Amino acid sequence: MLQWLYDSYDPVKLSRMLTGITLFFHIIFATIGVGVPLMIALAEFIGIKRRDSHYLLLARRWSRGFVITVAVGVVTGTAIGLQLSLLWPTFMKAAGQTIALPLFMETFAFFFEAIFLGIYLYTWDRFKNRWLHFMLLIPVVIGSSASALFITVVNAFMNAPAGVKFLDGQLVDINPWAAMLSPAAPTKVAHVLASAYLTSAFILAAIAAWSLLAGRRHVYYKKAFKLTMVAALVFFAATAVIGDFSGKYLAKYQPEKLAAMEWHFETTDKAPFVFGGILTEDNEVKYALKIPYLLSILAKDKPSGTVTGLNEFAEADRPPMYIHYLFDLKMMLVGMLGIVLALFLFYLLRRRSQRQLYANKWLLRGSIAAAPLAMLTIEHGWVFSEIGRQPWLLRGLMRTSEGATTSAHVDTMLVIFVLLYIVLGISSVIVLTRMFRSNRAEDEMIAMGLEGGEPQ
Amino acid sequence: MSLEELGIGILWLFLFGYLIVASIDFGAGFYSFYSHLTGQRQQVRTIIERYLSPVWEVTNVFLVFFFVGLVGFFPDTAYYYGTALLVPGSVAIVLLAVRGSYYAFNSYGFGSKSLYMFLYGASGLLIPASLSTVLTISEGGFISEDGNRVRFLFADLLTSPYAWSVVLLSIVSVLYISAMFLSYYASKAGDTAAFEQLRRYALAWMLPTILSSFLVFYAIRGHNSEHYEGMLSLWWMFALSTLCYIGAGWLMWKRKKLGLSFMLVLLQFGFAFFGYGASHLPYLLYPYLKITDHFTSPAMASALIIAFVLGFVLLVPSLYLLMRLFLFDAKYVQGKLKK
């Protein structure tokens, strides 16, 4: 690895690695940043509505931890924002004319969120009317989701450029509003938002499950667990529906990506869905699990739907074939999350086993595992989406190699940033665990004089 | 006024906003660390933390705002500056990242640790130095272009007296602006001990501020005489800046009207910053890039202006609310409200 870095200096490859690593790290915190405010709002809403201090404490403790993740999200977000220009100057020159608008609006949304988050955190006991404090959270939720929306719009444009004409190597006839509403935007935005909500719900559920599994039986943890898991259930359903739309979008606008992920070479109707297997040198699929008609159904809603094959595309325009395995992996991850939620639903609906809901070791363990799995699914979804777009930086308009910097120092910067992310990652885990260990919910309830705060 | 001038005007305003809020922030970090070292921590630090906690997040956004807007209006800046700034830009990112996250770890996570305080305090002085590189580069002479490759002449930057005078000015101004603001804030909080300490800092940095300003003036004459001529023709702006400087210092010395004193500091830097910016025009990067060539597409320019206006409609009342609740709320400033 290091040897390779020294042997061949290739700014394109190194810029891709550095951008990828920065995004990989940022996405962890960005996802939490989008999803957790909604969960905090949910808990605070229920708390005020039902006059239940446990939910209010929940919102308060979540928001305390949230600040730490926001800090890392802000600084890594600044990093990627600047790196776009530093590592991809030629791309940003083109992008500046076409997609500066959503980039800019993202900053606005973030500004809005930052202002109100600061106010929210420091006004917990300032208003007599609790609803006023709750209202402060609304701009935070809107701001965080809107910034995800706008930044995803930028990515959608890169996948399916719209609102521009390409003439003699120049982007002309630019319509910024049309560029924002590229065909990829609706499915991508919906998918990003729903999966961020889902993952955040799972992360918070894992924390509650962890405490329950450790034998802390306070009703506070039960409420936290039930709230987060029900939310996860809802977001999971939404994500699944949107995922289905994404398949249809790909079939229509980025058929080479769909075809590569399913190793679909000939354009045919009644196309099968391919899982696993290997690809021989003459592009034959062997040892794979094939489900007849399913790809056609996914892509076109009917078994007789025609799915474009890879043979329609020049070799140089095809994404790498290994994205097939990436997609398989994604389906497996999603499947595991589904099993955990099904188990939860089973105990939730069977009146007789309500106690089991908070005591079943396998459900609790599964819920703990679901948090990293969900985060992996998000990371994985991005890797899949970005590699599936190769070799294009702007699909059909600019190749990745044309956009990168020519600077001679990308290798050093790569090493520096990797070190930075390692340090930040480790520090935030240490800080977060210490923060909650040194101030347990039970202690806080006693300190606040809440009923039921005494050890049971 | 053309769209180009309007665009760069708005962006310059945001950069000025960043300069002020970031200076307060960076300087506060340094004073916080310094008072930790010298053992007067509680006095000064409580004041600093009470101010910073609700606003630290907003600071970064001003900067992001500026460069996203710059690339939007003037896409070619990404091409030239992007290539040239990889190293100094990345250094600034790393410092900002360390500073921002360790601030949060320290103040929201758990009690202060000397290492965290040090990272936070030291990075606050290095960031202005690395960011000021952009202004230095914009004067030309540090970039060469052959064919379609932009090269950054790193060695020239390190040996340039102009570059070092800008670095000096940026660090000194940070400490001066910050101390002037925090003195005002401490006096509002009615914390006499902290006020006296911060006032000493403010007065101590007054002379270095004006001296380093003149040094930059002198150095730019040797580096980019065209720009120097431009600055001379806007001499009245720099004269007004100096008057404001004297007024601000006098009020601080007399311990009178500290709000007005800080307003004068704002005007002092405002006149100097806008005078500098106006005389830099029409160049964004001397001599490669003017604001008139490679302006963004007209459709994007008007879309961005619309977004600006809509954004301001949201931002200004929100910022006002933030200030009302934390800057101009006597109870909060005096620490009579629980977090």
pLDDT in tens, A318-354: 888 888 888 888 888 888 888 888 888 877 787 676 7
Give B-chain residues touching A119 at CB under 8 angstroms: 54, 321-322, 325-326
Please determine, for residue A7, whether its predicted confidence score (pLDDT) is greater than 60. Answer: no
CA distance A47 to A208: 17
Residue A110's Cα: distance from chain center in Å? Answer: 17
B91 CB contacts (<8 Å, ≥6 apart)? Answer: B130
B99 with B116: CB under 8 angstroms? no
Give A-chain residues touching B89 at CB under 8 angstroms: 82, 86
Please determine, for residue B294, whether its predicted confidence score (pLDDT) is greater than 50. Answer: yes
Nearest to A113 by CA among A38, A205, A200, A190: A38
Find where tokens 């969960």 sit: A39
Please determine, for residue B13, whether its predicted confidence score (pLDDT) is greater than 60. Answer: yes
Which residue has better confidence, A435 or A206? A206
User: What predicted TM-score, i.e. pTM, was given to this entire model?
Assistant: 0.85
Residue B85's Cα: distance from chain center in Å? Answer: 18
| Cβ contact A427–B101 (<8 Å) | yes
The predicted model gives A424-438 an average pLDDT of: 86
Domain around B281: 3-333
Question: For chain A, first and last CA: distance in Å?
Answer: 55
The tens digit of pLDDT for each residue in A263-279 reads 888 787 777 777 777 77
Please determine, for residue A103, whether its predicted confidence score (pLDDT) is greater than 90. Answer: no
A123 with A69: CB under 8 angstroms? no
Secondary structure tally for chain B: helices H, strands E: 14, 4
The burial of B192, by beta-carbon neighbours within 10 Å (0-12 exposed, 13-18 middle, 19 or more buried), is given as: exposed
Residue A92's Cα: distance from chain center in Å? Answer: 24
The tens digit of pLDDT for each residue in B36-92 reads 777 765 667 777 777 777 777 777 778 888 888 888 888 878 777 777 788 888 888
pLDDT of amino acid A62: 92
Cβ-Cβ pairs closer than 8 A, A with B, add up to 230
List of E strands, B136-205: 143-146, 149-152
A378 with A31: CB under 8 angstroms? yes
The predicted model gives B90-109 an average pLDDT of: 80
B304 CB contacts (<8 Å, ≥6 apart)? Answer: A100, A101, A104, A176, B7, B69, B72, B73, B296
B333 touches chain A (CB under 8 A): no
* Closest-CA distance of chain B to residue A40, Å: 18
DSSP 8-state symbol, A317: G
* Closest-CA distance of chain B to residue A143, Å: 11
Which residue has better confidence, B240 or B106? B240
B281 belongs to a structural domain: yes
B339 belongs to a structural domain: no
CA distance A111 to A117: 10
pLDDT interval class at A6 (50, 70, 90): low
B338 belongs to a structural domain: no
Pairing of strands A285-286, B149-152: unpaired
Tokens of A40: 């905090």
Find where tokens 């994604």 sit: A330
B252 belongs to a structural domain: yes
Find where tokens 């070479």 sit: A265
Which range, of B166-170, B189-193, B333-337, averages the lowest pLDDT? Answer: B333-337
A248 with A258: CB under 8 angstroms? no
B316 with A101: CB under 8 angstroms? no
B135 with B101: CB under 8 angstroms? no
pLDDT interval class at A454 (50, 70, 90): very low
Q: Which of A77, A92, A114 sits opposite B82 (nearest CB)?
A: A92
Q: Which of A90, A119, A416 sits opposite B325 (nearest CB)?
A: A119
* Closest-CA distance of chain B to residue A332, Å: 35
Find where tokens 């240490």 sit: A430
Tokens of B207: 């002379």
CA distance B228 to B321: 41
B183 with B193: CB under 8 angstroms? no
Residue of A nearest to B55 (CA): A118
B154 belongs to a structural domain: yes
B230 belongs to a structural domain: yes
Tokens of A412: 């050093």
Ramachandran sector of residue B245 (left: φ over 0; alpha: ψ -120 to 50; beta: rest):
alpha
Find where tokens 């980025």 sit: A254
Cis amide leading into A320 (omega within 30): no
* Closest-CA distance of chain A to residue B312, Å: 9
B87 touches chain A (CB under 8 A): yes
pLDDT interval class at A3 (50, 70, 90): low
Which range, of A85-94, B106-115, B259-268, averages the lowest pLDDT? Answer: B106-115
Ramachandran sector of residue B45 (left: φ over 0; alpha: ψ -120 to 50; beta: rest):
alpha
Tokens of B13: 């305003």
B335 touches chain A (CB under 8 A): no
Number of domains in chain B: 1
Concatenated DSSP letters of B258-310: HHHHHHHHHHHHHHHHHHHHHHHTTEEETTTEESSTTPPPHHHHHHHHHHHHH
CA angle, B124 as apex, B122 and B127 as ends, to 5°? 110
